[in-house]
Amino acid sequence: MYEGMKALLSYLEESERNYDINKISEAYYYADKLHEGQMRQSGEPYISHPVAVARIVAELGLDTDSICAALLHDTVEDCSEKTSLDVITKMFGKEVAMLVDGLTKIIQVQVADKEEAHIENIRKMLLAMNKDIRVIFIKLCDRLHNMRTLSAKKEDRQRAIALETMYIYAPLAHRLGIQRIKQELENISLFYLDNVGYEEVHEEIDKKYGRSRNFIEEAKAQLAEKLTENKISFTLSGRIKSVYSLYRKMYTSNKAFDEIYDFYAVRIIVETELECYTALGLVHEMFKSIPGRFKDYISTPKPNLYRSLHTTVIGNSGIPFEVQIRTRQMHEEAEYGIAAHWKYKSGEKSSANIDEKLRWISQLLESDENTRDPDEFIHSFKTDIFHDETFVFTPKGDVISLPLGSTVIDFAYAIHSAVGNKMTGAKVNGVIVPIDRIPGNGDIIEIITSQSSKGPSRDWLKIVKTGQARSKIRQWFKKEKRTENIQVGRAEVEREMRRYSKTLTDAEITEIVTTIAKKVGIQTADDFYNTLGFGGISLQRFLPKIKDEIEKLKAQDAPISTPDEELSKVKLTQVNKRLRNSGGIIIDGEAGCQVKFAKCCNPLPGDKIVGFVTRGFGVSVHKADCPNVIQSRGNEDNLARWVRAEWDIAESAQTSLYEAMIQIIAEDGIGVLAGISVALADMKVSISQINTQALKNGENAINIVIGCKNVSHYESIVSRLRSVPKVLSVTRSFSN
């Protein structure tokens, strides 16, 4: 038996929970047999991975079936010729098979477009979570072990996996309240995304902690004496802030290291909620508190179940530190989130309380069903997953949690769709406010409604923050305003089409719209206009398709030109091969030539280009102003090998992304590389290569190879990068 499995069984046997050791052992032996001969990239036997995942699952306190599913989670995917879900069901039961199936479906998404595949993965994950929350617990444990062993991957894969972890899995762990996993995922991700920034913060931590290494122990001793005097049963622990937490505060809040007051923290764990407040009074009696640094998450818990009292005080040596006070149950929920419910409720998968806390998953899936717009889905997902909270009150005193930046309209729809649809105004703390007012923490909001209200305004879609509110507004327009939706949608389409071609007839517009609509599962032009009108889809994502269809119409009407004597000999069918050219390039009037794009200049659709006939490798395509072109044309021996080249517009629009090189000159400092990575990730731009070089003037040169559709796409990327803090210039570069 693998040593890691022996350690896991010992851990389970020593725990106080009633595990079925025989069933878990059987799952291990079966997985070990199926994975026999398979190795990880690190060189370890593959079985080491599922065993490590099962250990993390056990540490979360999950049940027997969850541990079995962790051991078996890769068997159906990686050993499909040896096993199946039916076999898993017969051997280990429906529960284990269902969990394995949920984990397998998350990674079994076959979509041609990488962006759509990524979005579909998130959808599958949410569907699996909605069916059984244990699926995402196991998936988070799987991701955590993969991150711990990420050094075995190539550098480009390290960055891609770390970026996905930082923006999907770490926030999910936070939303579910699993702080232990969240913090480790963030720290490891940062290490691979901005190693320089990580090491700088880590060095600052070592320096500061080294100067005051005994501070936490002294503070704990003082608190222990005071709590003992007052006959309070307690447990004390201390911590320093994690690398990522400090990095984020320094980067997003632009704070110096010495301005961070919660670098040190002492945690007091007591028996009852009353003792929490008693201990808080004793802390404030002992130390001077910092105004504005007290938070009561017991009376107003966070949506992820987190409950605790936080206060920041000044220690006797003048060093500020945070004190967290909570009960043992609150501590379990703070460390393990919703997973904590399995620690003491073996076999109980859910409860009314858990279902309520996970209602956001159902709301997000419901919103997606109403739109099926990838951009809208991602926007709603980010809003629900990444947001900081604002806590507001109804007039009756009920607490409502909203994403930071939400308006009173969002509040109305959070209460009920009927309240939002009949809303005519709002009061905040008794004062009438505009409907785009963003309330603050602790505000009391009253929604003014009227039975004679004509319903929400389309402008509200531009105001609201939450996907829930946006979805409910769209539902109302979809149901109540079809005729108006069609008019709005048609006007929007025609306005965009006239920009591309002023000579289009109404029949041609209808033909183009119908063609595009059917490609996305909408049967008629009016249905497409209706969906646009109520906001179910965004026209922006269809603009490239509209432009393609207009170009096709123009190509059908245009006469076939024969620019020189050689081309005039080409048959009509051969000229029409332009529309089928997989490279998107026409050489001397002919399509279908073997071409490759020169790495020295990486031309993009929209650039002026020329071709160079190579010896044995077809035609090399360069930008017309490429330095190598200019130099080569000075050599008379090469003149005859240069040929005319042009983009086949219809074909290049369907070709995969083209490589482009960008050089960024930026100030030296923490977070620059992360800011650039975040900007590119937000634009869904792929990075295939990145390297940095320190310049003599203290600045940095950052060279990045990215994927671009064309020159216009490239220019929009450059424009965004120029807005990143500390970026001085962004230029397109050439390889030597």
Give the H or E element holding residue 209.
helix 195-211
Distance CA 141, CA 708 (A): 35
- List beta partners, residue 723: none
**pLDDT value at residue 146:** 93
Q: What share of the chain is helix, strand, coil (3-state, %, to 5)?
A: 55, 15, 30
Q: Of 373, 473, 480, 343, whose CA–CA distance to 421 is shortest?
A: 473
Least trusted range by pLDDT, from 212-216, 567-571, 675-679, 713-717: 567-571
Say what percent of the chain tops pLDDT 90: 21
Q: In what order do the strands lie in the sheet with 658-667?
A: 687-694, 699-708, 658-667, 727-732
Amino acid code (one letter) for 320? P
pLDDT tier for residue 561 given thresholds of 50, 70 and 90: very low
Least trusted range by pLDDT, from 3-17, 625-639, 720-734: 625-639
Q: Which residue has the higher pLDDT, 456 or 344?
A: 456
- List beta partners, residue 643: 611
**pLDDT value at residue 503:** 66
Span 658-663, average pLDDT:
86
Instruction: Judge whether residue 26 has pLDDT over 90.
Output: yes
**pLDDT value at residue 267:** 93
pLDDT tier for residue 558 given thresholds of 50, 70 and 90: very low
Span 598-623, average pLDDT:
82
- Separation in Å, CA 200 to CA 204, 595, 701: 6, 46, 19
Q: Using one digit for the tens of pLDDT, what is the confidence trace for 494-505?
A: 887 777 765 667
Helix (H, G, I), strand (E, B) or coil at 306: coil
- Sign of the CA dihedral with 307 first, then 178, 189, and 320 last: positive
Is residue 78 part of the annotated active site? The answer reads: yes
**pLDDT value at residue 169:** 85
Q: Which two tokens stand for residue 647?
A: 């983009």
Span 663-687, average pLDDT:
82
**pLDDT value at residue 229:** 93
Contact 334, 237 (CB under 8 A): no
Say what percent of the chain tops pLDDT 70: 81
Buried b (16+ CB within 10 A) or exposed e, 487-502: ebbbeebeeebeeeee
- Which of 20, 44, 59, 77 is labelled catalytic? 77
Q: Which residue has the higher pLDDT, 175 or 231?
A: 231
Instruction: Judge whether residue 245 has pLDDT over 50.
Output: yes
Span 94-119, average pLDDT:
64
- Which of 20, 78, 335, 548 is labelled catalytic? 78
Contact 377, 123 (CB under 8 A): yes
Name the pairing type of β-strands 609-613 and 642-647: antiparallel
**pLDDT value at residue 283:** 93
The highest-confidence range among 181-190, 567-576, 698-707, by mean pLDDT, is: 181-190
**pLDDT value at residue 544:** 79
Residue appearing with tokens 């320190």? 694
pLDDT tier for residue 571 given thresholds of 50, 70 and 90: very low
Instruction: Judge whether residue 365 has pLDDT over 80.
Output: no
Distance CA 5, CA 536 (A): 50
pLDDT tier for residue 370 given thresholds of 50, 70 and 90: low
pLDDT tier for residue 68 given thresholds of 50, 70 and 90: very high
Predicted model pTM:
0.55
Q: Which residue has the higher pLDDT, 147 or 132?
A: 147
- For the chain, what is the mean pLDDT? 79
Q: Locate all alpha helices (DSSP H) within 60-178, ordered by sequence.
A: 64-72, 75-78, 85-92, 94-107, 114-131, 134-148, 155-164, 170-175
Give the H or E element holding residue 289.
strand 288-289
Instruction: Judge whether residue 80 has pLDDT over 90.
Output: no
Name the pairing type of β-strands 320-327 and 264-270: parallel
